[in-house]
Amino acid sequence: MFLRFSTVCLCIVLLASCAKTRIKEHEEWGKFYEEYGIKNAGFILRDNNHESIHYFNQKRCTERFLPASTFKVFNSLVALETAVAPDDQLVIKWDGVTRREEWNKDMDMREAMKVSCLPYYQELARRIGPARMQHYLDTVKYGNMQMGGGIDNFWINNTLKITPDEQTGFMKKLYFTELPFSERSQRIVKTLMLREQTPEYNLYYKTGTGYDGDKTIYWVVGFAEKIMNVKEPEGSMNKSDVRYYPYFFAQNFEMPKSDTSKDWMKVRIEILHKLLKEYGAI
């Protein structure tokens, strides 16, 4: 009996040790933020190939923030699933209100995602309605699942909140079509997120910019596919030598609203590239 108990205890210790080796903090990644004078930032990367998690600033990676325009990924999924949008070619007419130049026209979902058109997605949310939206927030368990301040405002008014860690989990499920949406809906939304295509990698992401008091919150969430050519042995069941290795990520940092010293929307993508290259994901 004692031997059996000791064996069980040893297995538990070994499993705990393995789990720890798969979660690694990278304090050195702070250099990429220091370079731009960013003091409050977090980055998390899930390496699916090695079943490991890598992060900078664990506290921020587990803190919830408004999702801002990263919510357009979720909003698109619900619109497609409920047939509010039959497909990504659904055109919503411009309401005539002058906002950003790239928003001031009729557009379909594909272009609306590309230019992150808030009015388009607010109209989608209104057509979806509170009941159906809440149903999917609860089913997916998206962040704190809270809606308040109106069906077309809750993801930008600090009611709905989500952590960077939760964002990467959401991205991983989307990638593997494991969300409670049809394969078709998830496949379409993934194509909407594709931003960079090279022979070495594909990069899918959605940015988000929101306001919390006197702070501006900057997001980038998504996944990278590293493309590798692997020679398959003769007779292999795999008919292609091309392999795609996914990495899921979420970056979040803040700056004072008054700080216009740099183009922070551009900076977040520059930092993302540096982090993914440092790790070897692209």
Q: pLDDT tens, 170-188?
A: 999 999 999 999 999 999 9
Residue 52 CB-half CA count within 13 A: 14
Q: Is 143 left (phi over 0), alpha (psi -120 to 50) or beta?
A: left
Weakest-pLDDT range from 104-108, 124-128, 140-144, 231-235: 231-235
The single residue of 6, 17, 69, 76 carrying the catalytic annotation is 69
Q: Which two tokens stand for residue 15?
A: 């499993």
Pick the CATH number of 25-279 from 3.90.110.10, 3.90.550.10, 3.40.50.10470, 3.40.710.10: 3.40.710.10
11-58 pLDDT, tens digit each: 433 334 344 559 999 999 999 999 999 999 999 999 999 999 999 999
Strands, E, within 101-180: which ranges? 107-108
Instruction: Supply φ then ψ for residue 227, to 5 degrees.
Output: -100, 125
Domain ranges in the chain are 25-279
**Active-site residue, 69 included:** yes
Averaged pLDDT score across all residues of the chain: 92
Question: How many CA atoms, within 13 angstroms, populate the side-chain half-sphere of residue 10?
Answer: 6
